[in-house]
Structure 1
Amino acid sequence: MADHAPLPIFPAPVQAESARSQRHRAGIHRASGAVPRLIAGICAGVLVVSALWYLLQLRQPSSALVIRQSSPVAAVSHAGPPQGVVLVTVSRGDTLWAVSALHRPDGIDQGQWVREVVRYNDMPSDAIFAGQVIAIPKYK
């Protein structure tokens, strides 16, 4: 018998297991198909609608209405505080200029009167929104 060196023993090549089969063997299944896409679409839609609703609520005026007893323009143009207040609910397309012009006392410049109404209602600007209630001072 011839002296032969023993043949090296190499382990049989192992086939690599795919990530999918590893997850399947471990019991981890990733949902696939139309249902998860539908759920993700619904969630995204709800998120967008919620964000828009929030932004629209920011644009709405506060429900608190501050009515002053006297005003600088009234003190200059009229003797004493207003005789009353006219509450006007703003409609779509109304402007403060047009709404206040309907109740402007004689002898007051329209621009000055709009500024007075803005100050009287503690508004940050002359922008108004549909549904907003504006208090307009009433003089004789």
Structure 2
Amino acid sequence: MNRMDTDSWMHTQPMPMPGSPVVVTEFDAVDYLQKLPAEPQIFLWSDSDRAIPGDWSYLASVRQGVPPEGIMAEFTAWERQYPTAWLAVDLRRGVIPPSTQMPLDDLLSGMKRNVIIIVTDVEEYPQWPRWNLPF
């Protein structure tokens, strides 16, 4: 990969911020969150509740027979009900990505909350900065 490519991040980000999602492995996310002064409420937006880390909650990202409009209606209701919760988007290998009406990158970058993208390998997602907690 050409490091001068403007579609990839060269530096890490110390914390997720609204409008700036970060990519991280599940192991590192759990580790970093435990180091924060107050652990935030986190919802894993995933295709199944089979592999939810720690005490995270679950938000369905796909449902059989439910079109993207239905998933996004549930998502919008969740946003209103939990305005300060963090969203962890499950993009690990073998997981079906969220069913959305707009490109996922645009949706996540436009969110006014902290978003972490859980992946198997951070190298596979250069469009987002890696989360690297400095302490």
Query: TM-score, normalised on structure 1?
Result: 0.23
From the two aligned structures, give the one with the greater strand fraction: 2
From the two aligned structures, give the one with the greater helix fraction: 1
More relative contact order in 1 or in 2 (CA 8 Å, sep 6+)? 2
Query: TM-score, normalised on structure 2?
Result: 0.24
Larger radius of gyration: 1
